[in-house]
Amino acid sequence: MKNQTLKFSLIMLIGANLFAQNLDINGYVRSYMGVLTNDNYDYSINQNTLDLKLKRTDDNVSFFANPFIYQYPNQDAHLGLREAYMDVYFDNMDLRIGKQQIIWGKADGMFITDIVSPKDLGEFLLRDFDEIRTGITSLKANYYLGDNTVEMVWIPTFTPTIMPDETSIWSRIPEFPLPITIDESQKEIPARLENSEGFIKFSGMSSLLDYEIMAGTMWDDDPTLHVSPIIELGNPQPLGLMLTPKHHQLTLAGGSFSSELGGFIFRGEGAYYMGKQFSALNPDQMNLPTSLLEKDYVHYLIGTDFSIGTTRFSTQFIQRAILDYDDMIVQEELDNTMTFLANRTFLQETLTLQLFGYVGLNNEDALIRPSLTYDVADGFEILAGANIFIQNDESETTGLFGHYDDNDMVYLKVKYSF
């Protein structure tokens, strides 16, 4: 890894010299420490980050690269490339080629039509916005018609969601009544033309309304677990379960809007997903979840942003509904979530107090995220916060947030942007 870091540094130096005056270099250095509020006060994270943003723009072309290094005590540094792309600008069209993050939709912190770039869930949903999405190698073309835009994306190679390591406190393997064996042999999608993904979006901006209409054909970023019993010859009782994660194709169409009325911003977003594989209980196999049922589902939200005095508020209601529901499906027919945000600044906007939260309405679980940010100087900030997971002990299932009830933590981030 030392060699890798050295190479990285050399590339940066050579690159900077080559582009000399026209290379725009920005980025940040950050120290991030989190402590679990358990009996041992274990560190949840102890990370140093160098994030560089390099940009050069000529008349009708530009390039951008975002390399980064995560460094952990007593561990090898992790070097990554969040984005690296070229832009070509025409009168009414732009082309972007390379590894890029593509963000769609009007929702905050939810992924409904914002599914072009897969997620990095290595730290659940706690990472900063630009770190929670992974770049994808793709070709993006934007054609402009006044204040309207047609955007087309072609992704030649599928990239799945990055899941936490099995040893991570954020790992979540479903519980089964029998011992499990995991077979990952079918997880990969062969890199060939027929397996590429495609998306199209038409969007517009006007005084009355901002809107997006989109459609796409893609691979499900999250694998479906195919579950089969492990049976010994002559013994009908399964000894265990074989779990085979596999990605399936999905087709979706959706849209989003945003508008202001009387000082309130109203937002909405929804998508219709076709061909999702859902795990289902199999009565012929001791009600083990060995069946798969293909169903369509809808995922949508409504939300509003508003201010009371100098405090900004935002709230969203999100629902996912499985259509033509079958009672044997493991997942509930309706899954309801709410988010809320309150934000206020003090001392000439140098001190920011924020409270953000997700609330799972089905299981009455929640993730509450209070934080306090102080700008010590221009570009230099200290952020202290907490992540509080709440589980309803009386609920039959723990829920997405309640599952991490033992992961309550406080954390500190010191960040210098340059």
With respect to other proteins, which residue has the nearer C-beta, 41 or 264? 264
Residue 368's Cα: distance from chain center in Å? 18
With respect to other proteins, which residue has the nearer C-beta, 249 or 417? 417
- Among positions 377, 393, 394, 396, the unique one binding other proteins when judged by CB under 8 A: 377
**174 near other proteins, judged by CB under 8 A:** no
Minimum distance between the CB of residue 301 and other proteins, rounded to whole angstroms?
A: 15
- Among positions 40, 74, 167, 310, the unique one binding other proteins when judged by CB under 8 A: 310
Only one of the segments 67-75, 139-147, 245-253, 358-366 lies at the binding site for other proteins (rule: CB under 8 A); that segment is 139-147
**90 near other proteins, judged by CB under 8 A:** no
CB 135 within 8 A of CB 101: yes
Q: Distances in Å between the alpha carbon of 367 and those of 132, 140, 344, 387, 398?
A: 17, 35, 20, 7, 13
With respect to other proteins, which residue has the nearer C-beta, 385 or 402? 385
CB 246 within 8 A of CB 220: no
Minimum distance between the CB of residue 67 and other proteins, rounded to whole angstroms?
A: 16
Phi, psi of 248 (to 5 degrees): -115, 160
DSSP code for 232: -
With respect to other proteins, which residue has the nearer C-beta, 205 or 334? 205
| Burial status of residue 299 (CB atoms within 10 A of its CB: 0-12, 13-18, 19 or more) | buried
Q: Please give the residues from 349 up to 368 whose contact with other proteins meets the rule CB under 8 A.
A: 349-350
**6 near other proteins, judged by CB under 8 A:** no
Mind giving me the DSSP string for 247-297?
A: --EEEEEEEEEEEEETTEEEEEEEEEEEEEEEEEEEGGGTTEEEEEEEEEE
Draw the binding track, 388-417, toward other proteins (x: CB under 8 A; -: no contact).
---------------------------x-x
Minimum distance between the CB of residue 265 and other proteins, rounded to whole angstroms?
A: 5
By DSSP bridging, strand 409-417 and strand 380-390 are antiparallel
- To the nearest 10°, the Cα dihedral for 76, 77, 82, 86? -110
With respect to other proteins, which residue has the nearer C-beta, 47 or 256? 256
Number of shown-chain residues binding other proteins (CB under 8 A) = 41
**184 near other proteins, judged by CB under 8 A:** no
DSSP code for 162: B
- Tracing tokens 């221009």 back to the chain, one arrives at 378
With respect to other proteins, which residue has the nearer C-beta, 64 or 404? 64
- Among positions 95, 130, 296, 370, the unique one binding other proteins when judged by CB under 8 A: 130
In SS3 terms, 55-101 reads as EEECCCEEEEEEEEEEECCCCCCEEEEEEEEEEEECCCEEEEEEEEC
- Among positions 103, 162, 239, 382, the unique one binding other proteins when judged by CB under 8 A: 103
With respect to other proteins, which residue has the nearer C-beta, 94 or 364? 94
Q: Please give the residues from 215 up to 274 whose contact with other proteins meets the rule CB under 8 A.
A: 258-260, 262-265
Burial per residue of 64-86, b for 16 or more beta-carbon CB atoms within 10 angstroms, e otherwise = bbbbbbbbeeeeeeebeebbbbe
With respect to other proteins, which residue has the nearer C-beta, 18 or 377? 377
**22 near other proteins, judged by CB under 8 A:** no
**212 near other proteins, judged by CB under 8 A:** no
With respect to other proteins, which residue has the nearer C-beta, 197 or 305? 305
Burial per residue of 382-415, b for 16 or more beta-carbon CB atoms within 10 angstroms, e otherwise = ebebebbbbbbeeeeebbbbbbbbebbbbbebeb
Angle at 315 between CA 365 and CA 111, to 5 degrees: 75
**316 near other proteins, judged by CB under 8 A:** no
Minimum distance between the CB of residue 377 and other proteins, rounded to whole angstroms?
A: 8
Other beta carbons within 10 angstroms of residue 103's beta carbon come to 11
- Among positions 197, 210, 220, 408, the unique one binding other proteins when judged by CB under 8 A: 210
Minimum distance between the CB of residue 146 and other proteins, rounded to whole angstroms?
A: 8
Q: Which amino acid is at 329?
A: I
| Order of all β-strands in the sheet with 224-230 | 180-182, 240-246, 224-230
- Among positions 48, 149, 362, 392, the unique one binding other proteins when judged by CB under 8 A: 149
CB 90 within 8 A of CB 96: no
Q: Please give the residues from 29 up to 88 whose contact with other proteins meets the rule CB under 8 A.
A: none
**345 near other proteins, judged by CB under 8 A:** yes
Q: Which residues bind other proteins (CB under 8 A)?
A: 26, 28, 89, 94, 101, 103, 106, 128-130, 142, 144, 147, 149, 203, 205, 207, 210, 258-260, 262-265, 305-307, 310, 345, 347-350, 377-379, 381, 415, 417-418
